[in-house]
């Protein structure tokens, strides 16, 4: 029995590595996955991999270093799917060290 059937799961940095693996995991567990990344082609590729397994996924471009893009991303998800159940804030950004 899939564990996340019909849950809406947003994953940032889902174009590769941990984010992509997490996106594939949630899709296999029945979730509607929102793949987000700063890199459109790799994000779309993750979406294609999920669809090739008959999973449900869509891609939204977002740079998590830009707060207005994050706000827009969440708004788009809620507007399209009605709710957001899980957010995997995987994409990390570096900030300068203060000494």
Ligand X SMILES: NC(=O)c1ccc[n+]([C@@H]2O[C@H](COP(=O)([O-])OP(=O)(O)OC[C@H]3O[C@@H](n4cnc5c(N)ncnc54)[C@H](O)[C@@H]3O)[C@@H](O)[C@H]2O)c1
Give the footprint of ligand X on this chain (CB under 6 A). 12-13, 15-19, 37-39, 42, 62-65, 90-93
Provide the minimum distance between the beta carbon of 24 and ligand X in the complex, in angstroms, as a whole number.
13
Residue 72: how many other CB atoms lie within 10 Å: 14
Please give the sequence-ordered ranges of beta strands (E in DSSP) within 1-99, or none if there are none.
8-11, 32-37, 56-61, 86-88
Task: Say if CB 50 and CB 7 are below 8 A apart.
Answer: no
Nearer to ligand X, 54 or 68 (CB): 68
Nearer to ligand X, 38 or 77 (CB): 38
Provide the minimum distance between the beta carbon of 61 and ligand X in the complex, in angstroms, as a whole number.
9
Nearer to ligand X, 2 or 92 (CB): 92
Provide the minimum distance between the beta carbon of 88 and ligand X in the complex, in angstroms, as a whole number.
10
Provide the CB-side half-sphere exposure for 1 (13 A, CA). Answer: 1
């Amino acid at each position: 029995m899939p564990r996340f059937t019909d849950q809406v799961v947003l994953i940032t940095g889902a174009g590769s590595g941990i984010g992509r693996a997490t996106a594939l995991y949630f899709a296999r567990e029945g979730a509607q996955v929102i793949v987000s990344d700063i890199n459109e082609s790799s994000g779309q590729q993750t979406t294609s991999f999920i669809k090739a397994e008959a999973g449900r996924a869509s891609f939204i471009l977002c740079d998590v270093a830009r707060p207005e893009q994050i706000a827009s991303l969440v708004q788009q998800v809620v507007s399209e799917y009605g709710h957001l159940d899980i957010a995997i804030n995987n994409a990390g950004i570096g900030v300068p060290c203060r000494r």
